[in-house]
Amino acid sequence: MTQLTPLMPHATASWLVDNTALGFEQIAEFCGLHILEVQAMADDLASSKYTGRDPVRAGELTLEEIERGQADPEYRLQMQKAPVNVSRTKGPRYTPVSKRQDKPDGIAWILRHHPEISDAQIGKLIGTTRTTINAIRERTHWNIQNIQAKDPVTLGLCSQRELDAIVAKAAKKAGIVDADVQPVGQSGDREAQLIEELRAEREASEKAASEAAQEAEAAAWLEAKRTAEAESEKTPGEQG
């Protein structure tokens, strides 16, 4: 069974480093981090500074559990309560600054090719407001002369699976039947499959990003350590 990790692993590790006598390996294992990340936090070499998060107050650890770990370096800390995942369900999705200028083009494309998609669905998919969508639809947008309809997937504003799921849902609600669309009896299964594939795709992407970040931070810590060791080994004449 996979060991559960705290809701905010880096912040929790930072708190445990500062407030307990637990070993780096114990903290790393409990938080699901690389031991070098924990060592970097302890040596103030981490590229990012984290505000500590108390796992005892969060209900993820007990003081008794911490004391067991401090008394036995081989003891493996046990999560007391599974962390509650916080999901963002309201408001438009976040879009990187570099992509925001492309939003009007993506909105124009959807309005042209999929008028059955509601403004609420477009807002959730692209990360925009109804006011902006309506301005583009009515051609009253301040930059309407420069807006060109472009596929939001190509622009990187959403994935193909996200777009397909929204299109299928909107088409079903509008009662649109196309030769390429599966029979009505199977449409629900198709939507469910798309959503499930999208969820798996996101989880895999998040895992890969987390692993890459851990490797990068560990590499940075090692490089900083080597540099510090090299500097300390220099003779006074070399340092001057």
pLDDT tens-digit profile of 105-120?
999 999 999 999 999 9
Query: Is-contact 86 106, C-beta < 8 A?
Result: no
Q: What tokens does 33 get?
A: 């981090």
**Hey, what amino acid is at 215?**
E
Q: What is the dihedral of CA 18, 19, 25, 26, to 10 degrees?
A: -160
pLDDT value of residue 45: 56
What is the pTM assigned to this prediction? 0.39
CA distances to 28, 35, 137, 166, 179 from 20, rounded to whole Å, are 13, 16, 59, 49, 64
For residue 128, pLDDT over 70 is answered with: yes
Closest-CA residue to 60 (of 88, 39, 31, 37): 31
The Cβ of residue 4 has, within 10 Å, a number of other Cβ atoms equal to 15
pLDDT tens-digit profile of 150-206?
998 888 888 888 888 898 888 888 776 554 444 444 445 665 666 666 666 666 766
pLDDT value of residue 108: 94
The answer for residues whose C-beta is within 8 angstroms of residue 18's C-beta and 6 or more apart is 52
For residue 229, pLDDT over 80 is answered with: no
- Rounded mean pLDDT, 21-42: 89
Q: What tokens does 183 get?
A: 């029979």
For residue 39, pLDDT over 70 is answered with: yes
How far, in Å, CA of 48 to CA of 10, rounded? 10
pLDDT value of residue 226: 78
In which band, very low, low, confident or very high, does the pLDDT at 67 lie, cut at 50, 70 and 90? very high
**Hey, what amino acid is at 47?**
S
